[in-house]
């Protein structure tokens, strides 16, 4: 029996999702993968997830398809960042590995209602998770923790205030954030501290194994955009792979804005307890005040050891050749 941490991953691969899967499949015990529509359509994200299990030598990991479309929002994709098929300019053959027949939402319900030893990672819009909670509300007590790449403690990427995963389906995110399930949030404030460039593409190419070759190809697409890119989803999962990569976090109350004209999809973090006493500081990393009216529901990542992350990432990808 593996003593690795057991996880189910809900994701929308997606270039950075693929890097996250490389890390998770090597370091964690991935019990199942559920695909959601997000960066591109579900027909691609589920196929890409199946491809990743084969590429990493783990076609035994079951892959399920969940929802393609957000609960209420108009459809938003990120194909300009990930390519129309989600893998930059790489097009893949239909994998031999088959998609599971069970709907991804029913799988989430089954796995968390029947097992006590699994936690959830989300790397895409929260549509599947919210739908699962609506269908089986007891999940609120059954999912021990969600590690979520989404939102931001400060600025957005899709709008000035909203990060893509939350912006795509704010109603779903609100359901999840209000569920009472403990959430660890790795938002853009941390993930944008990661900078990947063409030098990193060359480093991957030089490794000479199939996972690294694929990683180089998909990274070259985003690295080419403005000479740098951030592997947001890989940064997020690194918190579980090596807890020392996230060097500071704070427990605060986080709400998801669903109605604001300029702020729809924003993760509104209540930092009042952390307001610096010196007004030049936006946020103090130690508590400065007590605010009993604000009940923490999220552990928000604040500081990140980028060098350590890069070492773990490159060592992991190189290890696929061993």
Minimum CB separation from Ca ion for residue 11, in Å?
6
Nearer to ligand BDR by C-beta: 102 or 159?
159
CA distances from 277 to 272, 274, 288 (A): 11, 9, 7
Nearer to ligand BDR by C-beta: 46 or 163?
163
Nearer to Ca ion by C-beta: 109 or 149?
149
d(CA 191, CA 186): 7
Among residues 78, 196, 216, 298, the one that binds ligand BDR under rule CB under 6 A = 78
Q: Which two tokens stand for residue 28?
A: 């964690």
Under 8 Å CB-to-CB from 23, ≥6 apart: which residues? 234, 237, 238, 241, 312, 313, 316
Backbone angles phi, psi at 178, to 5 degrees: -95, 5
Q: Is 265 in the site for ligand BDR (CB under 6 A)?
A: no
Q: Which two tokens stand for residue 211?
A: 């996972």
Nearer to Ca ion by C-beta: 104 or 250?
104
Among residues 233, 257, 273, 299, the one that binds ligand BDR under rule CB under 6 A = 233
Judged by beta carbon distances under 5 to 8 A according to partner kind, the member of ligand BDR, Ca ion, none in contact with residue 163 is ligand BDR
With H, G, I as helix, E, B as strand and everything else as coil, classify residue 51: helix
Among residues 8, 9, 10, 17, the one that binds Ca ion under rule CB under 5 A = 17
Judged by beta carbon distances under 5 to 8 A according to partner kind, the member of ligand BDR, Ca ion, none in contact with residue 66 is none
DSSP annotation string for 220-262: HHHHHHHS-B--HHHHHHHHHH-TTSEEEEEEEEEEE-SS-TT
With H, G, I as helix, E, B as strand and everything else as coil, classify residue 105: helix
Q: Is 157 in the site for ligand BDR (CB under 6 A)?
A: yes
Q: Is 149 in the site for ligand BDR (CB under 6 A)?
A: yes
Q: Is 173 in the site for Ca ion (CB under 5 A)?
A: no
Q: Which two tokens stand for residue 248?
A: 């500071």
Applying CB under 5 A, the residues found at the interface with Ca ion are 12, 14, 17, 123-124, 233
Applying CB under 6 A, the residues found at the interface with ligand BDR are 14, 16-17, 39, 78, 81, 123-124, 149, 157, 163-165, 232-233
């Amino acid at each position: 029996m593996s003593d690795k941490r057991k996880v189910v991953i809900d994701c929308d691969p997606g270039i950075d999702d693929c890097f996250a899967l490389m890390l998770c499949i090597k370091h964690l015990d991935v019990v199942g993968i559920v695909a959601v529509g997000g960066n591109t359509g579900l027909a691609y994200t589920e196929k890409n997830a199946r491809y990743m299990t084969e590429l990493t030598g783990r076609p035994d990991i079951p892959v399920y398809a969940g929802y393609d479309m957000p609960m209420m929002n108009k459809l938003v994709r990120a194909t300009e960042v990930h390519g129309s098929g989600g893998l930059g300019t790489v097009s893949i053959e239909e994998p031999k590995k088959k998609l599971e027949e069970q709907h991804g939402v029913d799988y989430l319900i089954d796995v968390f209602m029947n097992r006590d030893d699994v936690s959830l990672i989300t790397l895409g819009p929260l549509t599947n998770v919210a739908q699962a909670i609506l269908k089986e509300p007891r999940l609120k007590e059954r999912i021990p923790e969600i590690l979520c790449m989404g939102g931001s403690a400060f600025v957005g990427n899709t709008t000035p205030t909203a990060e893509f995963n939350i912006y795509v389906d704010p109603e779903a995110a609100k359901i999840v954030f209000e569920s009472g399930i403990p959430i660890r949030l790795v938002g853009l404030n941390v993930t944008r501290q990661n900078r990947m460039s063409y030098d990193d593409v060359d480093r991957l190419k030089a490794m000479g194994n199939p996972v690294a070759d694929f990683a180089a190809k998909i990274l070259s697409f985003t690295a080419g955009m403005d000479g740098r890119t951030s592997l947001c989803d890989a940064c997020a999962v690194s918190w579980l792979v090596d807890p020392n990569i996230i060097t500071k976090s704070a427990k605060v109350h986080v709400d998801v804005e669903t109605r604001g004209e300029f702020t729809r999809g924003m993760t509104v973090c209540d930092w009042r307890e952390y307001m610096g006493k010196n007004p030049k500081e936006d946020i103090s990393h130690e508590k400065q005040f007590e605010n009993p009216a604000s009940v923490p529901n999220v552990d928000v990542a604040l500081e990140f050891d980028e060098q350590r992350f890069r070492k773990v990432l490159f060592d992991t990808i190189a290890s696929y050749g061993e």
